[in-house]
A = this chain, B = another copy of it.
């Protein structure tokens, strides 16, 4: 498959494909001569993943680049690869200075994770991310109790362990494992979000009586 065919098959314009090649999101095709390269199914697949992460997940190109980089680094053990990829999916948030409020929120997060006996890296950026959200919610005057948080966390754990993680082929090829993880996190994550909004609309309609 040449670049024009790859473009036609994926719906992505050629200049954009070239851009992804430059940025390392898409591996180079197999050079057959100085001005010709051959692309395969894997490229098409990767291209679809990129577009899904960009358009559905709204991930920055740089984050996708990080994910791709760990797949390509054969040195890295699988569990580390999955961890790094996972962290790349975090909201690219701004780091906050350590004010009082934030520190307290971080404490709550750490306590929550401890109580649930979850195995989360002590330095996981996800902890900070949650702390920052809790601060915002507090500032807006709709605080979530620790009890609610535990409840929500329990629901999420059920969702994840009963329905998501089983599908990830941890022992397959590196690329496949990461792909499953990323799709599970980003696309299923979005799907849940939309389902939740649909449920909200339905409940709202019910309460307002229509």
Residues on A facing B (Cβ under 8 Å): 45, 48-49, 52, 55-56, 58, 78-79, 82-83, 86, 89-91, 93-94, 113, 118-121, 124, 126-127, 129-130, 132-134, 136-137, 139-140, 142, 144, 148-149, 151-153, 155-161, 163-165, 167-168, 170, 179-181, 183-185, 187-208, 210
Contact = CB atoms under 8 A, between A and B. Distances in A.
A93 B55 contact: yes
Contacts of A78: 208
Contacts of A142: 167, 180, 183-184, 187
Given A140-B48, A151-B163, A187-B140, A198 B55 contact: no
A199 B119 contact: no
Given A119-B210, A120-B202, A151-B163, A197 B140 contact: no
Contact of A56 (B119, B120, B132, B165): B132
A104 to B, nearest CB: 16
Contact of A197 (B89, B193, B203): B89
A165 B200 CA distance: 7
A126 B37 CA distance: 41
A185 B200 contact: yes
Contacts of A187: 133, 136-137, 140, 142
Given A94-B55, A180-B142, A189-B193, A201 B120 contact: yes
Given A119-B205, A133-B191, A170-B207, A58 B185 contact: no
Contacts of A127: 198
Contacts of A167: 142
Given A56-B136, A134-B191, A179-B140, A118 B202 contact: yes
Q: Which of A93, A126, A142, A195 has most B Cβ within 10 Å?
A: A195
Contacts of A113: 198
